[in-house]
Amino acid sequence: MDALQPIPGTRLIVLSEHVDYWNHDGWTDPFSSASITDRQSAYVRALGLKSPFTPQFLVDGTEELETHDTQHIVQLLQKAASAPKVPMRLASVSIEPGSPAIIHGRVESEVNSGRHKADVYVAIALDHAESQVLRGENNGRHLSHVAVVTEFTKVGKLEPGKSFGQDFRVKLKLPGPSPTSLRVVAFAQESGPGKVLGVVLKSVAVN
């Protein structure tokens, strides 16, 4: 079994979203943002949680759990893998050089057979990132990260009984040196935030 894809026959698509409420400890996480903190707070309200915490897993927008319970994680991933998804595609994704550079492409989906409409997002994530923690409880640690979100962009709505197609252009706001590769992830999620109806990933090399 592939350790990175622990559910046979299923591709797990992950996004690492760095909140900014730990920055008061004297070291600022270069990948953190207030918008990610707001997104986590929205999950707290939608899922009826007492408070936000880190680190935290959110699976398909409907389940949350702490990272220490490996067995529970696998069970939730298996449950998510068995749920039907709306097939989605990313077409013609490329990077337009500049300051800032721009990622553009097209996101498409098959017909949404569900009863609820969904917001369609494009997320840009660093395939790999590293940080050296200078202060706080992780002082002195060198951290490696994967799929670190730098931008979330809402590109439209997927209506019940309809398919979706929309071109997009996203300015890159990179917190450090230019990476060698990026992940472009498009997903449809019911408002709330709610259930993720479909998702697709495409890796893009940065010249």
Domain residues for the domain of 39 are 23-205
Which amino acid, 23?
Answer: N
pLDDT at position 139 is 73
31-70 pLDDT, tens per residue? 889 999 999 999 999 999 888 888 888 999 998 877 677 7
Q: Across all residues in the chain, what is the average pLDDT?
A: 88
Tokens read off for 59: 């699976």
Torsion of CA 190, 196, 198, 202, to 10 degrees: 120
Torsion of CA 65, 68, 69, 75, to 10 degrees: 60
User: Cα–Cα distance between 102 and 171 in angstroms, integer?
Assistant: 4
* Domains of the chain: total: 1
What distance lies between CA 50 and its chain's CA centroid? 23
100-109 pLDDT, tens per residue? 889 999 999 9
Query: Is the pLDDT reported for residue 2 higher than 60?
Result: no
Q: What is the CATH number of the domain that holds 45?
A: 2.60.40.2550
User: Cα–Cα distance between 73 and 55 in angstroms, integer?
Assistant: 13
pLDDT at position 99 is 82
Calculate what percentage of the chain has a pLDDT beyond 90.
Answer: 53
6-41 pLDDT, tens per residue? 677 788 899 999 999 888 777 788 888 999 999 999
* Confidence band for 1, pLDDT divided at 50, 70 and 90: very low
187-196 pLDDT, tens per residue? 999 988 999 9
User: Cα–Cα distance between 169 and 106 in angstroms, integer?
Assistant: 9
Q: Is residue 18 assigned to a domain?
A: no
User: Cα–Cα distance between 204 and 44 in angstroms, integer?
Assistant: 32
Q: Is residue 10 assigned to a domain?
A: no
How many residues belong to the chain? 207
Helix (H, G, I), strand (E, B) or coil at 152: strand
Q: Is residue 35 assigned to a domain?
A: yes
Q: Is residue 3 assigned to a domain?
A: no
